[in-house]
Amino acid sequence: MKIIMDEQNMIRAVASSSNSSSMVSSKKYDVFLSFRGEDTRKNFTSHLYEALKQKKIETYIDYRLEKGDEISAALIKAIEDSHVSVVIFSENYASSKWCLGELGKIMECKKERGQIVIPVFYNIDPSHVRKQTGSYEQSFAKHTGEPRCSKWKAALTEAANLAAWDSQIYRTESEFLKDIVKDVLRKLAPRYPNHRKELVGVEENYEKIESLLKIGSSKVRILGIWGMGGIGKTTLASALYDKLSPEFEGCCFLANVREESDKHGFKALRNKLFSELLENENLCFDASSFLVSHFVLSRLGRKKVFIVLDDVDTSEQLENLIEDFDFLGLGSRVIVTTRNKQIFSQVDKIYKVKELSIHHSLKLFCLSVFREKQPKHGYEDLSRSAISYCKGIPLALKVLGASLRSRSKQAWECELRKLQKFPNMEIHNVLKLSYDGLDYSQKEIFLDIACFLRGKQRDHVTSILEAFDFPAASGIEVLLDKALITISGGIQIEMHDLIQEMGWKIVHQEHIKDPGRRSRLWKHEEVHDVLKYNKGTEVVEGVILDLSKLTEDLYLSFDFLAKMTNVRFLKIHSWSKFTIFNVYLPNGLDSLSYKLRYLHWDGFCLESLPSRFCAEQLVELCMHCSKLKKLWDGVQNLVNLKTIDLWGSRDLVEIPDLSKAEKLESVSLCYCESLCQLQVHSKSLGVLNLYGCSSLREFLVTSEELTELNLAFTAICALPSSIWQKRKLRSLYLRGCHNLNKLSDEPRFCGSYKHSITTLASNVKRLPVNIENLSMMTMIWLDDCRKLVSLPELPLFLEKLSACNCTSLDTKITQQQVLQHMLQSRIPYLRKHYLKCYDEEYFFPGDHVIDECRFHTTQNSITIPYLQKPELCGFIYCIILSMGPLLECDVSCSVYQDGIRVGWLERLLEYENLISDHVVILYHDISEFDKISEVHDHFFSNITFIFENNEDRITEFGVFPVYASESGLKLVGSKEIFE
């Protein structure tokens, strides 16, 4: 910007003086023009006035000729009622006592009211004004004897010393005018600060969004602002428009695109957009083709414009408004606000608007209801209850605040109680717009999530919805793009409370007075009533009942489901393990809907499912802690069944023939204590969990797809040899198998066993020697195998070994074996990079660090005087922990070089009780050291290792520096026995 003085001090003064919102609201004019009529009225001043008017800047100009020496009371009022005074110093400005009187009043308002003053030197040397020389000296000669001369001179000097605009440094007057108008706009923007209640919390988004817009770049950039309804997208875009539009040559805020396009069509919207960008020219385009003349496009291509397209709902709307953004001039910016992320195919960046914080929520709510920033005395708790309901949604906060304004505490309490049953319809209707834009299957998916599946893992929700023949994957993506749901922690489907409430309301309106005629039942009182009194109808598709909410046992008739012939989702469950009351069927159960896809019934009280039940459509069967002895008689056509979970069904003695369950993926029979033998013939089964089946002695599984087998705490005496032929088996759990004394070596292991976890029985004395062939196995658990006397050669990629309380292991041999394994596993990676197993951990009994370690101590620290730098890979730590329980035991090592910490490693160890001292061996890679520096070219000096433990359990530790060599890896300070 071409100015003759630095204006930073002036801006700070203005900012500090513009804190009062009342001052802002009382101003009538944006700009007051002070000028010498005879010099500039018909030329420069008139042009400046028109330029300001084009930018919608409310400007006061006095068209009357100056009369007398005293300015009028009306003029004084106009000066006081203006944010900015633009003083045009021309050659004869000082000759007018009227002008000098105006200037005196202007400078007084600057001092007392914080008014902004912008001096403009029009064809005059600024020094003549500042020092009253030249024509200004001649003018003051005529004012001799005037008592106000000294005051006028002081005002001239002060004004001329402000940041100013000088026409003499411009080539053309048009450029001069353009820069003045831009400066006026920039200085006016802070005079309309965000004191309005709807802008609470918006300011903190500015910096992020402005960085995304890259205002200084000459490229055309398009930013999408996306979020759920009522979240504040339009408010944020409006605030950005107000703040940034002065930087552009043309601007247009096209509001309510979705609604306006429906009402008036795209032609009217496009006419408005191009007309405003070309400063209110009356343009008209062909209604059928939307063609714009090349002349119009070429003119726009020369303008740096700022466009906001608010509430765009479809890609078609966006394309019809601006089919190709290439016609926009360099530096142009476009902001598009939407609830539908799918329209953002052309945008450069997307900004997701988030909920307000509790602090900002309370502030916005209080401004809406009390017109103050804090709750009124006595309304603190009620206000917090209100904002808890709104969950950070600005629209909800403002609407609820307005509805409670000037009402009594009793009215507040009544309204808040009402909201627990009935949503505010104004909020509901805004949020429902996103739902209305969904197709049939997407609406069904949304309602199922809102009523039944919120908080579940995405994969599980997808599986259930696919069972209902919904296009789950694409439907979930659409709901995400429309901000109707979110993904928490990368896996869990969530939705905002008000969005869920909106979904509930949609279902409630299917039949307001009769819950039995609604598609989904989830509200406890209504479900209880419908089931108990047999009020269900064919309309019902899903039912969920939480047993933990029962206040007494619920007795149902044998035909309570008979009328609900279209139920596809039935869940009777408990969040608590200690359910007091249950559902009982004194006369049995007549039938279940043949359309049932998902059946979850905890504590099912019968010994089997109804004989008339057809399970052909069933996809998931989950019956925890049931009284089932068997599922059904005979063979069912289970062509769709994927999951069986009968956890805790202690009376279960058999499961049905599953040979026709071609899609079966998982069977869980944990704690089915009456189950003595089991045969599962399935081609597709991947997971079989028999944990805690304490009577199970024999089992057979034929699936070649088996990846996980859990036989922990069963009574098996031997493993079928076929187990070792399961090429996809990754996890085998055998902990607590006290009858299992031996693992056969024959036939040899085969398969990759990638990422395996093996937990062995406590009576096992030796592992199969060919376990080393399981080259991709990464973890082995041997805890409490107290008869285990030795380890075979470990698999190459093993990263974790847990042998807690394996007290028959030889400490020295095991330490040597583990150290050798840690070196050996890195050999394939030596030449170019090392295997970075940052979580490596080996844990087994031991009461001392082996003698071969030269760097060991019983103190809490040790210093190595120097180490050669070339080929240093990292360090292996051997840490001795004393016996006893490990309850969240943190073990850490801080590494210092010359007193500066350069590295840090921490592990959390947990175990119920160590019956002897144990050693934990960890690896610390040199790449994790972030501040290590060279004192000399080839070695590190004074490397200190400090080991700490929150339970003070470390009795000794040792450090092995690990180096690469041509032949492999070696441990320095270990008498080089390991290579």
Contact by Cβ (8 Å): 519, 447: yes
Residue 710 to residues 137, 589, 691, 730, 778, Cα–Cα distance (Å)? 102, 34, 6, 11, 18
Other Cβ atoms within 10 Å of 21 Cβ, number: 12
Residue 780 to residues 56, 429, 595, 843, Cα–Cα distance (Å)? 75, 57, 44, 11
Dihedral pair phi/psi, residue 511, rounded to 5°:
-160, 105
Dihedral pair phi/psi, residue 336, rounded to 5°:
-120, 120
Dist. CA 786–CA 916, nearest whole Å: 12
Nearest Cα to Cα of residue 41 among 122, 117, 105, 138: 122
60: β partners: 32
Nearest Cα to Cα of residue 187 among 105, 140, 87, 117: 117
The three-class DSSP label of residue 757 is strand
Of 66, 80, 91, 102, the catalytic one is 102
> Helix, strand, coil: what percent of the chain each, to 5?
35, 20, 45
Contact by Cβ (8 Å): 712, 735: yes
**What is the helix (H) or strand (E) element at residue 263, kind and residue range?**
helix 257-277
Dist. CA 265–CA 241, nearest whole Å: 24
Dist. CA 376–CA 379, nearest whole Å: 5
The letter for the amino acid at 717 is: C
Mark whether 413 is an active-site residue.
no
Dist. CA 31–CA 419, nearest whole Å: 48
Output Rg (C-alpha) for the chain, integer angstroms: 40
Complete edge-to-edge strand list for the sheet that includes strand 349-352: 250-254, 305-309, 333-338, 221-226, 349-352
Dist. CA 892–CA 905, nearest whole Å: 5
Dihedral pair phi/psi, residue 171, rounded to 5°:
-75, -40
Contact by Cβ (8 Å): 452, 481: no
Q: Look up tokens 């009577």; give the residue.
A: 695
Query: Residue 425, exposed/middle/buried by CB under 10 A (0-12, 13-18, 19+)?
Result: exposed
Catalytic residue annotation: 102
